[in-house]
Amino acid sequence: MAYLVLARKWRPRKFAELVGQDHVVRALINALDRDQLHHAYLFAGTRGVGKTTIARIFAKALNCEQGVSSTPCGECTSCQEIDEGRFIDLIEVDAASNRKVEETRELLDNVQYSPARGRYKVYLIDEIHMLSKHSFNVLLKTLEEPPAHVKFLLATTEPQKLPITVISRCLQFNLKRLPVALIEERLKLIAKEEKIQAEAGGLRLLADAADGSMRDALSLMDQVIAFGDDEITEADTRLMLGTIPREQVLKLLYLLANKDGPSLLAHIAVMDELTPDYSSVLDELLGLLQTLALAQVVPEAAAGAEGVAGLTGLIAPEDVQLFYDIGVKGRVSVVQLPDPRAAFEMLMVRMLVFSPVADSEPGDGRIIPVGDSAAIAGTAKVVADEASGGKQAVDWQDEPKVRAVGQAADELAHEDWAALVGKLPISGATRQLASNCELERQEEGAVWLRLAPEAASMLTDQLKKRLQKSLADYFARDLKLHIKTGETRSETLAGRKGREAIEKQRAAEKSIASDPNVRAMQDAFGASIQDGSVQPLD
């Protein structure tokens, strides 16, 4: 007998065998047992979570020769033919391959005829969102008034692409991504039943890599069994998946915290010898940054995350957010560029470039000046002071220029605040606070700012102190800073940037919508512009 892959061999054949989708199974069981059946069901969820499996079990429950029931016998001819994929009244269609209107019309031409053998004629349409606009119109006519002997079971990974007119005519069930622990338990059961020696660490890695998909987990399990000669070990699984120990990724964060560029690149070179999947390494790094960010707000969040608690005082909260943002935005380059290691190194270097100067305390907002020197109030020269135990001092050059700025402090006009924010050596949350403020008034030695109400949550004592210190350093004099929340009289720097971003987005969408080539494709193929897919060029 030919080998049957685990994903097919262990595919559930009745509702009781399904895991992780109890909210869907319960509703379907009640509908079947009470004979309260709808004519169309929509199953939505990511890949490999059980959409078509549930649909096939439901079709079996409808056509079991023992009668409509939530517990089909599995022994009759109808049940066996459905399990084997050859039941004549179960019409399975992949909409991705049959999306044209002519194909949809041909599919639905026989809807009016009674089932050949079964109780119901069941149409199982997978990836329904791939149908063209005209195909949806054809399907909609049938969904509005279907014959009593027809049931539609629709499956999709992207329900947001379906016309609301189709969704409104279906009972929609959203299937969940399966938790790692649940997938791991299922893999343990299968390994035991298949008499395969499996290390817990290896199964855990497979469950993590599956990303919520049971089918992916079983496919990976098949792969590692072949790789390890009918044995699953953590070492073999790591080698096959291209993952590296979590401690190696954690070390990257400690090197970032220490601002040790040479050691950081040297560590990446060591990791490269393990031939890692750099997108997985980045995902692990982002996960650690997320845990770190939560731990800095709620220390209990670091419980169980070994090594993360020690970083809470080494990396400022705003820098954690900055690192996370850089990693998320740069992930596409790690995935798509031909040299993922180089892309990953550039991400790490980018994090170093924007990290605080070595002599500054965590979170004081001072960053390494980069760009036009005329845009900053002076140039900082870091001087190592060995006599003071290795501490570094900042020797501000161009003192006359700084004092000239200080003398002009009393002449600061309301409209100059936005320009001043651009010159201050602040970053992260401190810059966001300043960008959402406007200058209300100033007196000798004091500045009053008004903070936009939508940014009121940013007003903390810590951020206010950092902004006050930055202003005092910039003007080379002691200044008191007062900030109150209220409606701003003019547009703030943050508001202006937001407005400009919206205007650019609208202009880009208008440009695409009016493009003659785009219109030609819409007319010829029934194409549509996907919401959120248009981005303005910088």
* Ordered DSSP codes for 206-243: HHHHTTT-HHHHHHHHHHHHHHTTSEE-HHHHHHHHT-
Helix (H, G, I), strand (E, B) or coil at 498: helix
Which uninterrupted H or E stretch holds 96? none
Q: Is 346 helix (H, G, I), strand (E, B) or coil?
A: helix
**Could you tell me which residues are beta bridge partners of residue 437?**
451
Cα separation of 71 and 106, whole Å? 33
Query: In 10 A of CB 252, how many CB atoms?
Result: 21
What is d(CA 43, CA 238) in angstroms, rounded to the nearest whole number? Answer: 34
Q: Do residues 459 and 383 touch, judged by C-beta distance below 8 A?
A: no
Name all domains of the chain by residue range, CATH numbers in brackets: 6-174 (3.40.50.300), 180-241 (1.10.8.60), 246-353 (1.20.272.10), 360-490 (3.30.300), 502-538 (no CATH)
Virtual CA dihedral for 338, 342, 346, 352, nearest 10 degrees? 160
Contact assessment for residue 96 and residue 127, using Cβ atoms and an 8 Å cutoff: yes
DSSP assigned state of 379: -
- Degrees (nearest 5) of the Cα angle 227, 288, 217? 30
- pLDDT tens digit at each of 538 positions of the chain: 567 889 999 999 999 999 889 999 999 999 999 989 999 999 999 999 999 999 999 999 999 999 999 999 989 999 999 998 899 999 998 888 877 788 888 888 888 889 998 899 999 999 999 888 888 888 888 888 888 999 999 999 999 999 999 999 999 999 999 999 999 999 999 999 999 999 998 999 899 888 899 999 999 999 999 888 888 998 888 888 877 888 888 899 988 888 888 889 999 998 888 778 898 899 989 989 998 898 888 877 666 666 777 787 788 888 899 999 999 999 989 988 889 999 999 999 999 887 654 334 444 433 333 333 232 233 223 322 333 333 333 332 333 333 433 334 445 665 688 888 888 888 878 888 999 999 988 888 889 999 988 888 788 888 899 999 999 988 888 889 999 998 888 888 888 888 888 888 888 888 888 888 888 888 877 778 876 677 777 6
Distances (CA, A) of 480 to 67, 140, 151, 209, 470: 82, 67, 72, 53, 11
Q: Residue 395: what pLDDT?
A: 35
Question: Under a CB-based contact definition with an 8 Å cutoff, are residues 151 and 181 in contact?
Answer: no
- Residue 491 φ then ψ, to 5°: -75, 130
CA 432 to chain centre: 24
Residue with tokens 């996907």: 530
> What CA–CA distances, in Å, run from 486 to 105, 454, 456?
61, 9, 9
CA–CA separation, 392 and 360 (whole Å): 9
Contacts of 101 (CB under 8 A, 6+ apart): 132, 134, 135, 137, 138, 526
What is the C-alpha to C-alpha distance for residues 251 and 270, in angstroms, rounded to an integer? 12
Q: 7-12 contacts: CB < 8 A, separation 24 or more?
A: 7/215, 7/218, 7/219, 7/222, 10/190, 10/218, 11/53, 12/50, 12/53, 12/57
What pLDDT sits at residue 261?
87
Q: In the prediction, which pLDDT does 408 show?
A: 42
Q: In Å, how far are 2, 122, 200, 222, 223 from 231, measured between CA atoms?
A: 21, 41, 12, 10, 11
Distance CA 449, CA 276 (A): 50
Q: Which two tokens stand for residue 253?
A: 């964060």
Considering only the C-alpha atoms of the chain, give the largest distance between any 2 of them, rounded to a whole number of Å. Answer: 95
pLDDT at position 45: 92
The H or E element that residue 462 is part of is: helix 461-475
**CB < 8 Å & 24+ apart, contacts of 277-281:** 277/241, 277/242, 277/243, 278/334, 278/340, 278/341, 278/343, 278/344, 279/331, 279/334, 279/335, 279/340, 280/209, 280/241, 280/242, 280/243, 281/243, 281/244, 281/249, 281/344
Query: Cβ-count burial of 84 within 10 angstroms (0-12 exposed, 13-18 middle, 19+ buried)?
Result: exposed
* Residue that the structure tokens 């939505």 belong to: 44
Indicate whether this model's pTM tops 0.75: no
pLDDT for residue 483: 93
